[in-house]
Amino acid sequence: MKSQTKYGLLVGAGFLVGSVGLKALTSQAARRVYVQGIAKGLQAKSCYEGIVEQARAQASDIIAEARYANEPASGVSDVAPDTPDEETVACEESEEAQSSALATAKK
């Protein structure tokens, strides 16, 4: 068999298989299978979301207990008082400069 004939038959067979496959994928039976598969996937997702939420709640409880256990008995905490750090102050100053420049530009 010549190679051109061989490749022509392969292209024709590929076209035929593709057409049949497309028809099979768009049939009503295939659609029902897709819907059922997606429904099961959504059920699994909701189940795992519940499990993850429970694990997250338990982890936050453990963290809260650990923080409480680390607090000194005298009531004084190791955490510094709420004072703005240098980066926050610099950011606020640049925002004020931008707003004043914008107000001056509008006049």
Does residue 97 lie within any of the structural domains? no
Q: CB neighbours of 71 closer than 8 A, spacing ≥ 6?
A: 77
Does residue 35 lie within any of the structural domains? yes
Give per-residue pLDDT as tens, 5-18: 888 888 888 888 88
Does residue 37 lie within any of the structural domains? yes
The pLDDT score that the predictor gives to residue 77 is 53
> Over 70: is that where the pLDDT of 2 sits?
yes
In the chain, where do the E strands start and end?
A: none
User: Which three-class secondary structure state does DSSP give residue 76?
Assistant: coil
Q: Which domain holds residue 38?
A: 28-70
Does residue 16 lie within any of the structural domains? no
Does residue 44 lie within any of the structural domains? yes
Domains held by the chain: number:
1
Does residue 38 lie within any of the structural domains? yes
Q: CB neighbours of 77 closer than 8 A, spacing ≥ 6?
A: 71
> Over 60: is that where the pLDDT of 91 sits?
no
Q: Are 53 and 47 within 8 A, CB to CB?
A: no
Give per-residue pLDDT as tens, 28-68: 888 899 899 999 999 999 889 989 999 999 999 999 999 99
Is pTM beyond 0.85? Reply is no
pLDDT > 90: percent of the chain: 27
Does residue 53 lie within any of the structural domains? yes
